[in-house]
Amino acid sequence: MNEYLRFIEELLKDFRLSTYTLETKYKLKGFSAKYSGLKSGRTKSLNQATLASLENALNIKIDDTDPNHLSYIKLQSGQEQETKKNSSLEFSGSAVVYPYPLLGTVYAGEPKNLYYSSYDKTSKFTYSRKGHNCFALIVDGKSMESTLKDGSMVLVDMDAPLEKDCIVAVKLKNGAQYIKRYEDVNYSFIRLKSDNGEYGERFIDKNDIEAIYRVVEAIVKLI
C-alpha cells in the first residue's frame, strides 16, 4: 500500500473523521480529491502544504523525514494544559513544570537532513503559554556553544513571535535544518548566526523555509 494512503487512513481512523468532515469542518478544500488520487494510484504523495494544513487542522506534528514511514504526534494546546493542570503539573524544587512531547533532534553545526524519530516521550519545562503549541527537541552539535551544548534540550513554541537574535529551529524544504540565532534581513532573506565563533553565518532564502519556530526555553547539558 502507498505509505501516504496508509498514513491518511490511519489518521482518519484515529480521529474518527471522514474526508468530507476534514473538508467542511476543518476547511481542507479538495482533500477528498487528494485522498481519491492516493486510492486510485494517480497520486503518489502529498505535498508539504497539504501536510501543513493537516497539522494545523488537527493540532499534530507530522514526521515525514522518512517517506517510507510517516507518523505523527498530537500536540498539547494551552487549553488542554489548563484543564489537565492538576494531573500534569509536577514540582521540581520550587518551580512548577509542564510536560511537552519530545519530537526529535535538531542539528547545530553544518547542514544535515532533519532526522528525528517519534520518541514517544515527554520532557518537562517551566514555560507555559495559554493557547500555544510547543514541543521539545534535542540539540546535536556544537555551533551554539556556549549557549547550548551538544545534547542540550530545547522547548520550541510554534506560536511565539520571532525577534532579532532569538534562537530558532529551522527546517528547509530540502530537509536541511538548523538551530541558530535569527535575524530578518529583508523581504527575501533571513540571517542565521552561530554562538560558537568557529562556525559562520548563513543567509537563507525565505522561499526555501518549510518551518521556523522560536526556542523559548532550554535545559543545558552541563558536561
Q: Which residues contact 96 (CB under 8 A, 6 or more apart)?
A: 89, 90, 126
**Cα 153 from Cα 28, distance rounded (Å):** 34
DSSP SS3 for 78: helix
Give residue 222's pLDDT.
Answer: 62
Domain range list for the chain: 3-74, 78-219
**Cα 187 from Cα 52, distance rounded (Å):** 22
Q: What is the mean pLDDT of each run of 10 residues along the chain (223 residues)?
A: 87 85 80 87 86 84 80 65 44 65 69 45 83 86 87 89 93 86 94 90 92 90 62
Give residue 117's pLDDT.
Answer: 43
**Cα 124 from Cα 29, distance rounded (Å):** 37
Q: Which fold is adopted by the domain 78-219?
A: Umud Fragment, subunit A (2.10.109)
**Cα 209 from Cα 168, distance rounded (Å):** 12
C-alpha pair distances (Å), 57 with each of 19, 26, 165, 176, 222: 13, 6, 30, 25, 39
Give residue 205's pLDDT.
Answer: 95
Find the largest Cα–Cα distance for the chain. Answer: 58
Q: Which of 25, 33, 93 is nearest to 58 (CA)?
A: 25
Give residue 108's pLDDT.
Answer: 65
In contact, 38 and 5? CB cutoff 8 Å: yes
Q: How many helices (H) and strands (E) does the chain have?
A: 6, 13
Give residue 55's pLDDT.
Answer: 84
Give residue 89's pLDDT.
Answer: 44
**Cα 180 from Cα 28, distance rounded (Å):** 33
